[in-house]
Amino acid sequence: MLPRKVQTQLEFTLNFPEAALGVYPNKLPFRSEDLLEANLLRSIYEQNNFHVYLKFDEFKSGFSLERAGLELDLLQREFRARLDDRKLVLADREKIEAQYEVQLKSLPATTYRLNFTQTARSARRIPSAQQTKMLEEILRRWSDDAVTQKKVLAFAARLPGQMTLPEKGHDPLVALMELLERTRVLAEGLGELARLPGGYQAVLPNGARLSDLFLQLDFLQEIRIPQIRAALFGSIADPSAAGMIGRVFRQQVRMRQDRQRLAEEKLRGAISTYQDYLASTVPSSVNMKQAPSEAGGVTSGGGTQLQFSDTFLTKLMEMGGGRQDVQYRTSLVDKILEGRLQMAEQESALGESREILEALNKKASLSEKTADAAKAKIPAGPASGTDFVASLTLGCRELNDLIADAEKLRTKVTENYMSPQTSLYRITMPVIMETASPLTLRNFGLFLSGFVVVGLGIALVACWAHDQSTKPQD
């Protein structure tokens, strides 16, 4: 029986954040070639006794990994249709191919197709069921090794500690500042929890999920804290008291302005470093002024662009080209991302202090009617010093409950790291097996032609030998 060529395919998507940037969650560099590491393949080979069918070198060379996905298929169809135009000259074809390469690099590299190809007779061919199991086992083994040995998921979200409830004799303004600060840190920690694989799937014993904690945080920030501020303004008995409190917040505004300037300088420094790196690698193919300006998200007015995406960060990574210096490029992109987050955080904190200061200034300087109009912008709350402390205490208790649930959820997510729902990959298409026989119509024609030529040659040689043997000798 003639040997047959069999190709088995398994399509999957990487299921961890920043996979398109070429890094694991703990910032270790990720390479798609890690899935076909020699030690991993050898363990699969020996565990399944594949030596019965083929040698290890033949087994290893049968694997290949290629990018896949719906977006890639659509892109290839589009450019294949454009290249099928017979009227295209060589220059036009080169231009279209260059456009294809640019758009290909812009697609996030998160979906792949794992292939195994073997050409052999039926008796020496790995059975189809074992090939399917083999491809799935490779993905599972790679994911388990990355989690247990490389510890790619071993990083934790930073959460604030619970705060002490305000007591009599202590300045409630200090407790209010602490409440605002811990609330911002908690928001950052919940954001980091959301980035952990399985973060949204974890469930607490009371049924609460991460999405529920985000809703509680929104209530605390948008309802409870404004009510506490309203209680603070209502507890101010005279304009002089408002002026004294206003001086405290003016000092806070100046401090936060300094922090914002430092964050902006840090961000611009990270952008400048990346600009210098790009200038030293691909100066002719990158617009050096436009890219860093977009990267920082800093507007001409000194504000910050809060919206950013993994697609943009992926483009920054692609600007460096290839897989060279991937760890260094990843660190540069991380610095830019961190700078943008710090800018957003400092601008939000500064805006919050300015709102409070503006309301206090109106309380101190305007008439009672104007002051009441300014207070109307804030949700209604108690109007005495005692009620302010009570409202502040209630907000602190709600914050502490939210922090406690966040800590439990973080523990739950960490425990779930080894469960299937937090796998580093997700199979997007079942195993496909394609079989091709070497005895195609074309191959049959070539074989028949060769047979005829060889047969005629043998016949001619036989005739010549016969003539030589029957020729009379002189």
pLDDT of residue 286: 43
Per the DSSP assignment, residues forming a β-bridge with 115 are 9, 64
Are the C-beta atoms of 431 and 135 separated by less than 8 Å?
yes
Specify the 3-state DSSP secondary structure of 294.
helix
Contacts of 396 (CB under 8 A, 6+ apart): 163, 165, 166, 175, 179
Structural Rg of the chain based on CA atoms:
34
Could you tell me where the DSSP H helices lie in 49-127?
A: 56-61, 70-83, 90-106
Name the band, by pLDDT with cuts 50, 70 and 90, for residue 373.
Answer: very low
Lowest average pLDDT, out of 47-61, 97-111, 319-333, goes to 319-333
In the chain, domain spans:
4-154, 172-419
Tell me the pairing of strands 4-14 and 111-120.
antiparallel
Instruction: Return the structure tokens found at 425.
Output: 């990959």
Question: What is the average per-residue pLDDT within 44-68?
Answer: 92
User: What does the DSSP assignment read for 178-197?
Assistant: HHHHHHHHHHHHHHHHHHST
pLDDT of residue 376: 47
Nearest to 346 by CA among 334, 354, 356: 354
Other Cβ atoms closer than 10 A to 339: 24
Cβ-in-10-Å burial (0-12, 13-18, 19+) of 136 comes to middle
Contacts of 331 (CB under 8 A, 6+ apart): 27
Instruction: Say what the pTM is.
Output: 0.49
> What is the signed CA dihedral for 334, 338, 339, 343, rounded to 10 degrees?
160
User: What 8-state DSSP symbol labels residue 11?
Assistant: E
Alpha-carbon distances, residue 159 vs 81, 266, 448 (angstroms): 53, 24, 76
Q: Whose structure tokens read 């100046």?
A: 254
Apex 437 CA angle, 432 and 441, nearest 5: 125
Instruction: Return the structure tokens found at 112.
Output: 């792949």
Nearest to 238 by CA among 357, 358, 380, 364: 364
User: What does the DSSP assignment read for 243-283?
Assistant: HHHHHHHHHHHHHHHHHHHHHHHHHHHHHHHHHHHHHHH-T
Reading phi first (left if > 0) and then psi (alpha if -120 to 50, else beta), residue 156 is in: beta
> What is the signed CA dihedral for 373, 374, 377, 383, rounded to 10 degrees?
-90
pLDDT for residue 46 is more than 90 = yes
pLDDT for residue 133 is more than 90 = yes
Specify the 3-state DSSP secondary structure of 68.
coil
Instruction: Return the structure tokens found at 42.
Output: 């050898």
Question: What is the average per-residue pLDDT within 133-162?
Answer: 84
Per cent of the chain over pLDDT 70 is 72
Specify the 3-state DSSP secondary structure of 289.
coil
Buried b (16+ CB within 10 A) or exposed e, 372-397: eebbeebeebbeeeeebbebbbebbe
Question: What is the average per-residue pLDDT within 415-430?
Answer: 69
Q: Whose structure tokens read 């694991």?
A: 24
Are the C-beta atoms of 43 and 141 separated by less than 8 Å?
yes
Mean pLDDT of the chain: 76
Lowest average pLDDT, out of 21-35, 197-211, 366-380, goes to 366-380
Contacts of 131 (CB under 8 A, 6+ apart): 6, 8, 116, 431, 433
Alpha-carbon distances, residue 133 vs 130, 152, 155, 422 (angstroms): 5, 25, 32, 20
Per-residue model confidence as pLDDT tens digits over 160-218: 888 887 776 567 777 888 888 899 889 888 888 887 767 788 889 889 999 999 999 99
pLDDT for residue 123 is more than 80 = no
Are the C-beta atoms of 107 and 310 separated by less than 8 Å?
no
Question: What is the average per-residue pLDDT within 309-321?
Answer: 54
Nearest to 142 by CA among 34, 240, 217: 34
User: Is the CA virtual torsion 345, 346, 348, 349 positive or negative?
Assistant: positive
Nearest to 198 by CA among 410, 27, 29: 410
User: Is the CA virtual torsion 213, 218, 224, 228 positive or negative?
Assistant: positive
pLDDT for residue 265 is more than 80 = yes
Cα 159 from Cα 145, distance rounded (Å): 28
